[in-house]
Each structure stands twice: as structure tokens, then as C-alpha cells.
Amino acid sequence: MHAKRTTPVWLVSAALTCLLAACGSGSDSTGAAGGGSPTGGAGSTGSCPDLFDQGTMRTYSIDIAPDQWNAIQAEFNDLATLQADGNDFVAKHPVVFHMGSETVSDASFKLHGQSSWVQTVMFDGDHPKMQFDISFAERDENARFHGVGKLVFDMSRSDWTFMHDRLAHNWFRQVGIAAGCAASARVEINGAYYGLFVAKETTSRRVIGEFFAQHPDGDLWKAGVQPETNNEAPDWSRQMAFMQAADIAAVSAIVDLDVSVKEWAGEALINSADGYYGGNHNFYIYDTGAKGFVFLPNDTDATFDWLTQNDLTPANQHPVYFWEGRAQPVAAPGPTWLAAMNDPATRAKYVDAIAWALSQWNVSQLQGWIDTWSQQIAADVAADPRRWATVPEFQAAVATARDVVATRAQFLQSFVDCAKNGTGDDRDGDGVRWCEDCRDDDPGAHPGAAELCGNGVDDDCNGVADDGC
């Protein structure tokens, strides 16, 4: 019944019922971050809508007419178009949405996803699981359900804990990095249990206003290219400046690096495999005005235990050279990342940001979340007719995620100690300590080495193989 994992197409307390993260206070980060939110705004001072109460396991029911359900199934199985053109071909379908006695009669349903969508259709036989959005604002852009204009139902087939997005979003919010609220939820479609999901907000206007109260109307760009706010008239000139920035001067002129390195450090701690950190794939940039764009997290399902289960760098993924040692293919690091990490001053800020993130990383609290939430969802995981992991595999993944919370922090602390105090080893004897070396198993590859043309190796550790050849 259950397809085994494959490498992707690309690469505290049980008594807590309303965590700081879920309520969105963000107050834990203010002092440690040097004043204000790491994302550069006033921080999160509001609370999450009650849909995201961490002590409540909600069931959402969706009624879909037969013709609409057939159309959705046709879209879901159209892998040729998905792989050729992305998911822009999918339509919005009218549905009736229920939560308990409450009903929204004019909601809409839209599929989303990419690699996990392809994999579930290819590998999960007759029980693939759709990921989708439910919008409450298609007819009236101001319509809200419990304060939310759209609910996103995510569950990547490679998340055997069923909690990656929930853990990541709650921790980001707690430390003052802008992310939507998230909680686990059951979904029924046409009267039958469809599956377990993480229900979450997008990085919406509500979230932007919460974290950027002094600048709530800027442009938000998905992956730096797709406008998510101000869709009709985004500032394309600033987006183009971001896309064309390739050296540290140009990057510094359009990106707030003091703030962005803290988001990258946060992704390093959650062990992300495909954010801007970890893969140059899933991220937002938000335009804060004069200080420039700040990076924000997006789609955090390949985190925590993911690398342990799917790749070759379980908890020791290098926080600067995150692509080294990874299974292929891995997306090349982005130009903003390369400009920042190849600039000594900005790289030092990044090291400081990791030290800050470690000061916000409470291992006992995070392990408590994992313990409490895994117990909360265990029965629904077991009953999920579209789960891809067996119950023992779910339990093993939960135990691994719990371990990674501690071991990843220990590894990153050793990185900070090496970078700041000169205590790190030079295992390959090339004169460069491991924390500054992209390949500490190869004495021919290190910062300052000559680039050997044609060998396909990043000999000088600047993030580009065979550059200048």
C-alpha cells in the first residue's frame, strides 16, 4: 500500500494548548535580536485566529459536486502539463466548506504543489493525496473565515512526521520571523475522511501587517518572481534590481542583509533542504522600502528529519556550503547567497545570526511540541487512507525529528565556535578549518585554491564550479 521514499524530483509541555508560537506573540525574540523583530518590522504582537489553537484537532468537511470533482481529478493526474508548464493550468472550483456547524457556501478549491504532487501520483497507486487551497474570498476579496482569507492544506509525501510545516511555522513566529499560523487538521471530502494535513495561512496581508506594522503595503514576491501582493501593479523595477544583483554592492543596495541573514540562520536550524537556504527554491522576498527586500520562509515541509531520511547530510549539512555532500541533483545556490557568503563582513553577520538563532532554539520546548503533537495526531495518521508511511515509520520519523532538534543545534554550535574562536579542525590538512572549507575531505578544494578548469569541482569554494574557465 505504501510507496517507499525516493529522492525528490528536485531537490514544553504536554499541557500547552495555546503556545506562544501559535498565539503569535513573538515577544521571545525582541531582546535577543537586538531590538525589534528579526524580519525588520515591529514583530508579531497579535494572535493567531482560533483555527490554529494547538490544543484543538479540527475537522474540515468539503462538499464537491461530481462534475467539479471529476475536473479536479483530471487536473491532478495531468502530470505532463504539470511537469512542462508548472501548476498554472489548475482551475478554481466551487465547493461548500464546513467546520462543525459553520458553513461557507461559496468557497473555492485549487490544487497546489509540484514535486510532491508528481511523486504522489506516480508512486502512491490508487491512494494519492492532493494538496490544495481553500479560498473564502473569491467573490468578495474582503471575505474571511475566522479572520483567514485562504487556508492552505499541505502534506508532502516525504514528511513522515506529518508535522514539518507546523513545527517550522510555529518556531519562526515565536522568534519574530514572519510566517503564517499553522496547525494539524483532518479533512473530509464528500463525507469520507480524505486525510491528515497541516492547515496553515499563506504569508498573507494579515501576516505581513502583523510583522511589518510600519510598512504593511509592500510587494511580496514568491521565489522573487511571482507577485503575491499588489498583483495588479507591483514594482517591477525593484524586482528586476533584485534579480540582476550579483555582487555584494548591488545586493546590499536592494536586500536588507542584516535582517535576511537571520531568516537564513533560522532555516539552517530547522535543517531546511529547499528554502533559499538549502536549495534556492522555496522562499519569499518582501519589500520593506528604503532598507530593501527581506527574505521570508515558504513551504517548509523538507525540514527537521527530512535530510536524515532522504539525503546524505542528516544533521551536519554545512550552514554556508549547504549543497556540498548532498545527493544530486541539488539546485545551485542563489546569487544573493553567493554574494553574501563570499563577502567576509556579511558572512560574519551570518555567523552572528546563527548564534542568535541558537539562543532562541529551546531544545526541550521543541521536543515537547513534537511529543505532544505526535500524540495528538497519532490516531488520525493511523486512519489516514492516503498515508504513505506506515504507523511504525511515522513513529520512527517522529523519533528522528526529535533527535535532530538536538543534534542539529549541537552541530551549528560547533560551527559558530569554529568560526568565532578558531577551535575547528582542519581534517584534510589544507590549512583551512572545516567551518571555512567547502570540502574538508579534499585538500585541493578550499578558499583561495586555484580553479581547475573542466573538473566540475568548486575548487576555490566560491559556490561556482569551473568559474572563469
Give per-residue pLDDT as tens, 252-282.
Answer: 999 999 999 999 999 999 999 999 999 998 9
**pLDDT at residue 35 is higher than 60:** no
Rounded to whole angstroms, the Cα distance separating 457 from 337 reads: 19
Peptide bond into 329 cis (omega under 30): yes
17 or 448, higher pLDDT: 448
Give per-residue pLDDT as tens, 338-363.
Answer: 999 999 999 999 999 999 999 999 99
372 with 456, same domain?
no
Interacting residues of 455 by C-beta distance below 8 A, sequence separation 6+? 465, 466
332 with 459, same domain?
no
445 with 324, same domain?
no
Give per-residue pLDDT as tens, 76-125.
Answer: 999 999 999 888 899 999 999 999 999 999 999 999 998 899 999 999 99
Give per-residue pLDDT as tens, 133-180.
Answer: 999 999 998 999 999 999 999 999 999 999 999 999 999 999 999 999
What is the three-class DSSP state of 52?
helix
* CA angle 350–283–144, rounded 5-degree value: 125
Q: What's the confidence (pLDDT) of residue 17?
A: 32
367 with 442, same domain?
no
**pLDDT at residue 40 is higher than 90:** no
58 with 117, same domain?
yes
pLDDT (mean) for 352-376: 98
**Long-range CB pairs of 215-219, under 8 A, 24+ apart, other chains included:** 215/41, 215/288, 215/289, 218/286, 218/287, 218/288, 218/289, 219/286, 219/287
129 with 60, same domain?
yes
Domain holding 441, by residue range, is 426-469
Confidence of residue 468 (pLDDT cuts 50, 70, 90): confident
Residue with cell 527581506: 294
User: How many domains does the chain contain in total?
Assistant: 2
272 with 189, same domain?
yes
259 with 298, same domain?
yes
384 with 452, same domain?
no
94 with 215, same domain?
yes
Q: What's the confidence (pLDDT) of residue 423?
A: 84
**What number of other Cβ atoms are within 10 A of residue 323's Cβ?**
21
Rounded to whole angstroms, the Cα distance separating 208 from 212 reads: 6
Mean pLDDT computed over every residue of the chain: 90
Pull the grid cell for residue 309.
Answer: 531520511
410 with 267, same domain?
yes
215 with 308, same domain?
yes
Q: What's the confidence (pLDDT) of residue 41?
A: 54
First to last CA, the chain: 50
